[in-house]
Structure 1
Amino acid sequence: MSNGARHALGVVAGLLLPPLILAGLSFGVGEFTTRSRVAYELSWLGLAVIAVSAIALAFLVGSRLSPVASLLGGLMFTALGVLPVLEMVTQQRLLPTGWLPGVVGIGYQTLAHSCLLLFLGITVLVVSMFPSRWRATHRRPPPDHHLEYGPEHGHEHGHAYGPAQAPYPPQGGPAYPSQSGPEDATRPMFRE
């Protein structure tokens, strides 16, 4: 996959997944909280939706699609997580509460006022900033079948190869007094 296609898919995932994660998390937390407080019983539906939202969040931050996806999600979660703080500072109502139905509104209020959305937003933003996530994945070129190694393959093509050179320096002597043979498995292999 080219780097451009990877980032394009990241934009699509970043626009679709975070709202779905937030909706699922709001419903799951609201359902679980309401059921446990009102009827004092366990809401398996709420737990299942929370688990699915967690899997979607893990895909958002851990996939190799593009860090653009987690960057967009982190910005959304952080913006919504800052709203309760701004409400307290400005003494103005900023949270979107009236248009969220029933348990979703309760779950969203719980997530927002507990600063869990701010926590999620900052976490997802920091995950997006790792330089290794912005690099394209490089594939190794296919092996060249014309360059086989070893004497049995070299004779087929008219080439005779000598014995392979050891990937580590010879051992023994004054530099290695405690090691007696060439089969020391504890020494690292040196690369050229």
Structure 2
Amino acid sequence: MQNGARHALGLVAGLFLPPLIAVGLFYGVDQVSRSYQQFILSWTGLGVLLVSGILLAFLLGSRLSPVASLVGGLEFTVFGFLPFLDILGLHLIPDRMFGDVLWSGFLTVAYTGLLLMFGVMLLVSSAFPSRWRSSAPRAITAGPAYGVIPPYQGPEDATRPLHRD
């Protein structure tokens, strides 16, 4: 795949996957924490958390363009800083930005710093120069250093018999 197409797909993945990961994370954390309070396990919440983890790993993967992790990292980092700005007195988080099901999970994930951690993790993974290079291997030209050594073509003697096929 050419670099342009790879980066375009990375941009699309970077725009659409982080909101899905965040919603899954908010829902899963809410369901699991509510079920722990009742001394049971929410398999649905746990499954949604696992799917969110798989999608996050997909963003971090080296085969995907680093544009995906760069855009996703910026999204998570911006939303990860909002609770800390709220503590400092700059209230930028709207009240009840989500429904009741996601609100508790959002508050738990945001105020513990997990959104900021995911954002920094995605930004750092996109900083490696090897991820920005094309994944297509370079062609190796055959030459004396890489080619096959030709058989001896000199005169025949007892130490060097000619191989005739």
| SS at structure 2 position matched to 1:94 | coil
Q: Distance in 2 between matches of 1:87 and 1:118?
A: 14
- What is the CA distance between 1:93 and its match in structure 2? 2.6
Q: Which runs of 5+ in 2 are unaligned?
A: 153-165
| SS at structure 2 position matched to 1:107 | helix
CA 1:31–1:97: 2 relative to 1, 3 Å: farther
Question: Does residue 151 of structure 2 align to residue 131 of structure 1?
Answer: no
Computing the radius of gyration over CA atoms, which structure comes out larger, 1 or 2? 1
Q: Distance in 2 between matches of 1:107 and 1:52?
A: 16
The root-mean-square deviation of aligned C-alpha atoms, in Å, is: 2.0
Tell me if the contact between 1:61 and 1:70 (Cα under 8 Å) persists in the aligned partners.
Answer: yes
Matched residue, 2:110: 112
- What is the CA distance between 1:132 and its match in structure 2? 0.6
2:151 pairs, out of 134, 147, 162, with 162
Q: Distance in 1 between matches of 2:138 and 2:24?
A: 40
Q: Which runs of 5+ in 1 are unaligned?
A: 151-160, 164-192
- What is the CA distance between 1:79 and its match in structure 2? 0.4
Tell me if the contact between 2:62 and 2:131 (Cα under 8 Å) persists in the aligned partners.
Answer: no
| SS at structure 2 position matched to 1:58 | helix
- What is the CA distance between 1:162 and its match in structure 2? 1.0
Larger RCO, structures 1/2 (Cα 8 Å, 6+ apart): 2
| SS at structure 2 position matched to 1:34 | helix
| SS at structure 2 position matched to 1:72 | helix
- What is the CA distance between 1:35 and its match in structure 2? 1.9
